[in-house]
Amino acid sequence: MRKEALLIFSIFMIGLLIVSFVSANFFSDFFGKITGNVINECFDGTLVNQCSLTKPKYCIITFGSPKPLLVDDCTECGCLEDYVCQSDGTCKENLEEITCKEEGESVSNLLPDPPNCCEGLILIKPKFSDVVGSLGICTVKCRNGVCDAETETPYNCPADCGNLAYFKFEVNEETFIIQLTDPQKIQTAREILNSNVLRDNRHVRGIIIKEQVSYNGPWVYHLDPSSVSFPEISIELCDAAIEQINENIITTGNTMLPGDSWCPWSARLIEELDCENKECSNEVVFPDDGACEDGTIAGECSTTKPKYCNDVGVLIDDCQTCGCSEDYDCQDDGSCSEVAEVIPSGGNLIQKILEWFRNLFGGE
């Protein structure tokens, strides 16, 4: 009887394999009845045999997997605008069809034939003088009387944003230079410098940008000009020394200085600088051999996904360029998030099948 049972089991499994390729829904329903759980959707909520909202993902069931999976199928689900369907089911950006740049988009100077701004837009300079790889930004907003922080600065649109101003502050004998663009903040900074009382009681606060700028070398970061303020009280959570941040720039914004908010307690404004006349530091120090701390060459992906070594030697999350490890999905902020698994409450699927057959022939 054991041989007969084994033969029946083998025939059954072969038949099941054939059926699974013919009908994914049958396969799902069958295992659902065994486990008591019918899994009819992928982890993002897409139903089996349906296209996900994230093109070109398609939800299917495959033999040997206890849960539906999202696969690339651009033939069935199509691609996003400006992307072209590939033979392997993925979508690839169609650079040839991009004939002009829209509002706020940067025009690269690395292309042999860079695109023009779309009709009605003008090309203004990059936001800062030390930006490389860009001819400028396409916009219609410059000279409309409002300084748009996304595209304009006093450098590329002085008609809207006024003049640049630079101020140096000190933290434990180390100095740091900030750039201000808001006329009211510039006036506040000058008032602080002209008053011993204000100078001793006003701190500096701002959001860290992990990019090196020519006016604030040798530090590998700077403060977002639009975020700078001068509070009277600062909290301990955002306190850190200048060199401490420089040495731990990778963890800044996470375990150190959440949200990249920095407010050194001992910070004091000490002078205003004329950076246009070379009073600011131009000592921009890039890492030795153009490499990040793990040895990754600048401009390349680290072996630790999704880390990318940027042009100032800082490892950043960039899953769009470097991808994610298996069972992780790329997020909009460049990080990778673990794929949520749908585990049947009845336990291991294979174990359930074996138990079902043991119960069926257990009395023989």
Q: What is the pLDDT along the chain (364 residues), one digit of tens a residue?
A: 556 666 676 676 676 655 544 444 455 455 555 555 557 888 788 888 899 888 899 988 876 666 788 889 999 999 887 788 898 999 887 765 567 899 999 998 877 788 899 999 999 998 877 777 889 999 998 888 777 878 888 778 877 777 678 899 999 989 999 988 888 899 999 999 998 888 888 889 999 998 888 788 788 899 998 899 999 887 778 899 999 999 888 888 888 898 899 999 889 999 998 765 556 655 444 444 456 767 787 788 888 888 888 766 677 888 888 999 888 889 887 888 887 654 444 445 556 666 666 666 654 4
Q: Are 192 and 200 in contact (CB under 8 A)?
A: no
- Cβ neighbour number for residue 212 with a 10 Å cutoff: 21
Q: Are 192 and 269 in contact (CB under 8 A)?
A: yes
> Helix 24-35 vs helix 349-361: angle between axes, to the nearest 10 degrees?
70
pLDDT at residue 298 in the model = 76
Distance CA 123, CA 138 (A): 5
Take residue 232 and report the two structure tokens written for it. 């009277």
pLDDT at residue 18 in the model = 59
Q: Which distant-in-sequence residues (6+ apart) come within 8 Å of 134 by Cβ?
A: 106, 107, 108, 109, 126
Strands 100-101 and 116-117: parallel
In terms of pTM, does the model score above 0.85? no
160: left (phi over 0), alpha (psi -120 to 50) or beta: alpha
pLDDT at residue 286 in the model = 45
